[in-house]
Chains A and B, each alone.
Chain A
């Protein structure tokens, strides 16, 4: 079991800076993130995009901001659990939180700060009413083991790199039949992949169905057929073994939504006095929280983190008197 003073869920800029502010108060931190690297959206989605509203930086690349934050918190030696999604929160007999991840890693802390940003990224599901009936029974949103599709009839939907790459891979003597369904006639993936897909379509290895989308799924226990509608009005029935709708990822709150926190518009309600939630000991900071006047900005998240740790300190050490110090008069940062 991993034990710490302040458990931070989300290792985006706001979660990372929390380590610094908590460290100044001698609180140790551990961060959990579903992504395999720290930095959240800044690292995963737009590392090469410049950000213009970080005080003191007229322009800084999102990836560089993350690198700088990692340098800044280094003296405080935070722990990381990466590539795992938080699933469960419970309380043990001495009132501490026990947080368990998707990989069954167990963490224990008196205070939890949720800095989860937009939430965790989950596959975007086509809006077909009974689609969930066939999930893992013929419909997969992520390819984990391509061998599963050996000698099977596979339909892939999507027009991006992931759809193209898997179509190419599975059509190369893995699946018995590969169809690629896309809503337009052109593809926007990597030009090299697009060329290869077109070549394989010409040689009959990939059945290309463009200007079309899957509108219905059916089967008896396991997926058996798709109804594919063309923009021009035609409808075809396609028998198959597996359908892979590959439409990228979209953010969702995930299991946190079931933790008994007050939630408005996909965000966690907090008290702006200390960014506490309705559950004592659990705080929410950054893009994931909501309060009147909320702005989803990194700089607001930094401010929220700073005030939050003052309150968190009192929870961890109810009897200690908090002494706030300016970093300028400390003669440098003393870490752990």
Chain B
């Protein structure tokens, strides 16, 4: 099993360094929920609610967002160029050192 480190900056600017397994097909939303960070994940990870909206703060090259994800981001607020839905970003070894910031809940 491989573990990577992911830093999550919450809405109070507190940094949380999380250990994330890469062999469980887990996504960022599930990781945040596992650590009880304030991410709702209302729709259960189907890119249908944007409650896991976050910003990618590090320079990692992520896989491109799907049409479903872009559609949902169109309905979200405070969207920036580095916006992603946490539920659509899967934990992989390439993401070692990833830094994300949770978006405002609006």
Contacts and interface: CB of A to CB of B under 8 A. Distances in A.
> Are chains A and B native binding partners rather than an unrelated pairing?
yes
Nearest to B77: A127
A91 interface: no
A183 B42 contact: no
Secondary structure at the B interface, as helix, strand, loop or mixed, is loop
Contact of A127 (B49, B75, B78): B78
A131 B76 CA distance: 16
Contacts of B48: 45-46
B75 A247 contact: yes
Given A49-B46, A158-B75, A183-B79, A188 B104 contact: no
B64 interface: no
Interface stretch (B2-10, B18-26, B66-74, B94-102): B66-74
Interface string B43-68: 11010111100000000000000010
Contact of B42 (A127, A159, A247, A251): A251
Contacts of B75: 124, 158, 160, 247-248
A188 B77 contact: no
**Interface size classification for chain B:** 20 to 34
A102 interface: no
Contacts of B43: 45, 118
Contact of A158 (B40, B44, B46, B74): B74
Contacts of B71: 160, 188
Interface of B: 40, 42-44, 46, 48-51, 67, 70-71, 74-79, 104, 106
Given A127-B77, A158-B74, A250-B50, 15 more contacts: A45-B46, A46-B46, A46-B48, A124-B75, A126-B106, A159-B74, A183-B79, A184-B74, A188-B67, A247-B75, A247-B76, A248-B75, A250-B42, A250-B49, A296-B44
